Amino acid sequence: MLRIEDTDEVRSTQSSVEAIFNGLKWLGLDWDEGPLSASDPAAAKGAHGPYFQMQRLTHYKRAADELVAAGKAFLCFATPEEVEKQKERNQLLKRPPKFVSPYRDQTPAQREALLKEGKPFTVRFKTPQEGWVHFEDIIRGPMKWENNLIEDFVMVKTSGVPTYNFACVVDDHLMDITHVIRGDDHLSNTPRQVLCDEALGWKPPVFAHLSMILGSDGQRLSKRHGATAVEEYRDAGYLPEATRNYLALLGWSTEDSQDLFTQDELVQKFTVERCGKSPAIFDPNKLIWMNGEYIRKMPVRELVERAMPFIQKAGFMNGQEESRRGEIEAAVALEHEKVKLLTDVPRLIDFFFKSNVEYDPVSVEKVLKKPDVSEVLKGAIETYASLQDFTALSTEEGAKALALRRGIKNAAVFHPVRVSVSGRTQGPSLFHMLEVLGRDRSLERMKSTLDKLNAGAL
């Protein structure tokens, strides 16, 4: 079930809600019940709506009124400053920093008098002062908290909007939630929620608290470790299936430590019981490795389709992406093994399609500025112009024959030809690259490079 918990008036924004929808949809995580879009809260599937908490305020008010009437909750007229002052005093006295409200046991008449004055209030839960609260955690086993250490927490804020701890209890019950699986940073919230359930006569859901994700330095994951919004991973060129696979392995594993899963395998093999108690370590290098594994298993045609938004954004195709799709696929096929992120694709193939060669200065100095390179290029141009077929095999044989005639090593021909047509010393197999470029473009680039060398323009 997808429920939008938007009762935090500061943090809940339209953009944050849209990020939830976009992230889940991109990851391929569909929901059985919930809203259908961020922009239309009324559009939903399922029988337990509405699914935005701010549209469910009447449910929370009814439950809060019930607890107040039963003496299990009370109106607290303390100001935020009074609450903070008492907590600070408790800390100075080495006491638990919890707030004890002077309004906990006020009479109905005292309460009515303050209400008539128009004094603002919150609704606080009246936590039992003795005993323990117990619950079973699927991952962590039996858990218990001493009631006396839990303060009378706020259920409903002065604005009339419920707090997280109260709203989710009401919703979990009314929406027939059976399991709540969340991070262990919520572990301290669970006793409060169980107390609310018990006070309302409801059976709490089953809880499972997952270990937190830490950076490689053992600190809580943050942006400096690479933690970003899901959409940023999409924009960085990660595949949704690889990202989903990697996320599943943070704090969970199979008995045989399998790394790569199809979605069907994850559905079949995942069990909450095998989630660990120890914090998981987010390793960006492993995520990139996994993404590369998925890409290498992908047919070239599909890889080009997935990478097309990044190719279009790079701009070197000048709107010819569709008409030259075959050339793009041929170029990508040469670099398939090197691609780890979809954003790698335009960087690896752009030189095939740019009208002018962009020379890497280091490659120019290392290769093109060597003695006799002009004569080598001149010989390569003559050799390639005379070939009957312009294939990877024929261009390689021609280059080796030229080296033999000139009494030089093969590399003394190969390297100048590579840099003259691509501007780089690195790249795909030279002769397959020439075949994809074709005779005309290859000769045009070699001639242009030769002219620049002779004119001292490089």
This prediction's pTM: 0.86
All residue ranges of the chain with pLDDT < 50 are none
**Residue at token pair 């549209």:** 55
The tokens for 132 are 């323990």
pLDDT tens digits, 151-174: 999 999 999 999 999 999 999 999
pLDDT of residue 328: 96
CA distance 238 to 241: 9
Sign of the dihedral defined by the CA atoms of residues 9, 11, 14, 17, in that order: negative
- Amino acid code (one letter) for 200: L
Residue 162 CB partners (closer than 8 Å, separation 6+): 7, 53, 57, 60, 64, 155, 156, 170
Catalytic annotation, pick one of 119, 223, 378, 400: 223
pLDDT of residue 196: 98
Rounded to a whole number of angstroms, the distance between the first and last alpha carbons of the chain is 63
pLDDT of residue 228: 67
The tokens for 326 are 């075959």
Q: Establish whether 277 is a catalytic residue.
A: no
CA distance 244 to 182: 17
Q: Output the 3-class SS for 369-420.
A: CCCCHHHHHHHHHHHHHCCCCCCHHHHHHHHHHHHHHHCCCCHHHHHHHHHH
